[in-house]
Amino acid sequence: MTALPDEQFLLLNALWLRKMATRGTMEENAGLSAAAAESCLRSAADHQLVRVMGDYYVLTDSGRRAVLDHYDSEFASLRGDPELLAWYERFEGYNARFLELMSAWQTEADEAKERTYARLARIVERHVEALAGAARWIPRYSHYAARFERSLEHVDSGRSDYVSSPMVDSLHNIWFEFHEDLLAVLGRPRESLED
């Protein structure tokens, strides 16, 4: 299969990372306008890459294959880049700390959550800074930085659901999606075509 057009990849990748999403969620996570998303979804439906389930979309097997094939064709040349691999190793250090703090935040008593969140926010802020470096290889990674910043703002204004709720674009969701995206760029997706 030939590589997907850029906007269609962004939209279908957002769906692949979420597994199931509304059009609005895909638009937001892909950074696309409503008109661009509608056009991409229409084309994806015509090519049987997506299936509609009420208000939600899911990828078909062909859609999953198209997304993973796109990663293989577009990012194969980066997979041996020593600078990107070093960046990835540093990220995995942040990842371990993020997961540890997220687990603590989810299980701690309310009085301990504020201090844990402050440490979690510092990890996310460092990651946002590091994303500027990664964006030189993969420019769309700057959109993850913007999503993290929006979620931090929501939490700082009292919306604690933006820490880990699966129902919003929470820090936990964005982090998980970014990690999955990065693994796919490196040719190590958790989900294979055979899954």
What is the CATH number for 45?
A: 1.10.10.10
My answer on whether 120 and 91 are in the same domain is yes
My answer on whether 172 and 85 are in the same domain is yes
Residue 34 lies in a domain: yes
Of 53, 74, 95, which residue is a domain's last? 74
What does the pLDDT read at residue 195?
A: 46
Cβ atoms within 10 Å, residue 85: 12
Of 74, 99, 121, which residue is a domain's last? 74
Task: Note the pTM of the prediction, 2 decimals.
Answer: 0.93
My answer on whether 66 and 123 are in the same domain is no
Where are any strands of DSSP class E within the chain?
21-22, 50-53, 56-59
Residue 190, pLDDT > 90, answer no
What is the domain extent for residue 66? 6-74
Distance CA 148, CA 57 (A): 24
Domain count, the chain: 2
Chain segment 11-24, per-residue pLDDT in tens: 999 999 999 999 99
